[in-house]
Amino acid sequence: MRASVSMSLIAAFLIVGIDLVNALEVPEVHYPTLARYAPTSEGFIPQGWKVETQSVGDLNGDGLSDYLLVLRQDDPANIIANDPDSLGVQRLDTNPRILAVVFARKRDGYELALENHDFIPRNETPTLDDPFGQADIVDGALQVSLHYWANAGSWYTDDATFIFRYRDNALRLVGYKDFTTKRNTGETWDLSVDFLAHEAKITLGNYSDDESENKTYRKSVPESPLPTIEELGSGWDFQPEEANLSWWGLGESEN
């Protein structure tokens, strides 16, 4: 499991994966600086980049419609040919992404509130799926989902959703959901953490065993400062302590 067992599993796979694909040379990225202000959301799209997805909603509670933009570079040089004898896809799109949020101004136009180059990992390994899932504004919160699936080197698949709300002049992590499957055993782990309510829940199951029953555990979460999206770095580097089975007093064989 990417998070609930140990991030070291993923780190180990990435080392193996790099060896398997002969360490493809991924071009260096020179990120543009987005405009600070623009009359429309389109004004924040730099040359050579495109909007991959966008969502509209009030993120800062002022009653105005803000924009979430996932921008992706559109450079053919970032699409790399893989060795035909190597594992994984034959053409790997390594074009990076920028996660941007722009707030509507009361008079007119929009103001840049977030320009993040790190949270959505760049796709650099042919044996791994593109890590980006989706991004939306839902009920005044920013939700970003990341995906982990390997066609070699790991049995684990993972879908994590990060929930951010605008508090104290920053987008801060208030919720986290993680669903992980181990394909060779059928084991599943379904974790949710509400950092505002100080509650965590995990459900252990097994989709390959019709006779086994899911087991759900709940536990209080100690109060702690809410990290900003910038403080998290790459989304795949984030591992709350609630994601470790040892925090629950459980082991992987106990589901």
pLDDT tens digits, residue range 214-239? 999 999 999 999 999 999 999 999 98
Q: How confident is the model at residue 137 (pLDDT cuts 50, 70, 90)?
A: very high
Q: For residues 7 and 98, which has the higher predicted lDDT (pLDDT)?
A: 98
Q: Is residue 98 part of a domain?
A: yes
Return the closest-CA partner of residue 230 out of 123, 122, 147, 118: 118
Q: Encoding tokens for residue 169? A: 């002049």
Q: Is residue 168 part of a domain?
A: yes
Q: Are 44 and 102 in contact (CB under 8 A)?
A: yes
Q: Is residue 2 part of a domain?
A: no
Q: Is residue 241 part of a domain?
A: yes
Q: Encoding tokens for residue 7? A: 């991030």
Convert the pLDDT of each residue in 204-213 to its tens digit: 999 888 778 9
Structural domain that includes position 55:
7-26+37-254
Q: What is the per-residue pLDDT for 254? A: 59
Q: Is residue 1 part of a domain?
A: no
CA distances from 51 to 102, 124, 129 (A): 14, 20, 20
Residues in CB range of 68: below 8 A, 6 or more apart: 54, 55, 56, 57, 59, 99, 100, 101, 135, 136, 137, 142
- Above 50 in pLDDT, residue 14? no
Convert the pLDDT of each residue in 153-170 to its tens digit: 788 899 999 999 999 999
Half-sphere exposure in the Cβ direction for 245 (13 Å, CA): 19
Look at the chain and report how many structural domains it folds into: 1
Half-sphere exposure in the Cβ direction for 238 (13 Å, CA): 24
CA distance 45 to 187: 42
Q: What is the per-residue pLDDT for 212? A: 81
Average pLDDT (43-49) is 98
pTM: 0.89
Kindly report the three-state secondary structure assignment for every residue of the chain: CCCCCCHHHHHHHHHHHHHHCCCCCCCCCCCCCCCCEECCHHHHCCCCEEEEEEEEECCCCCCCCEEEEEEEECCHHHEEECCCCCCCCCEEECCCEEEEEEEECCCCCEEEEEEECCCCCCCCCCCECCCEEEEEEECCEEEEEEEEEECCCCCEEEEEEEEEEEECCEEEEEEEEEEEEECCCCEEEEEEEECCCCEEEEEEEECCCCCCCCEEEEEECCCCCCCEHHHHCCHHHCCCHHHCHHHHCCCHHHC
Q: How confident is the model at residue 121 (pLDDT cuts 50, 70, 90)?
A: very high
Q: Is residue 31 part of a domain?
A: no
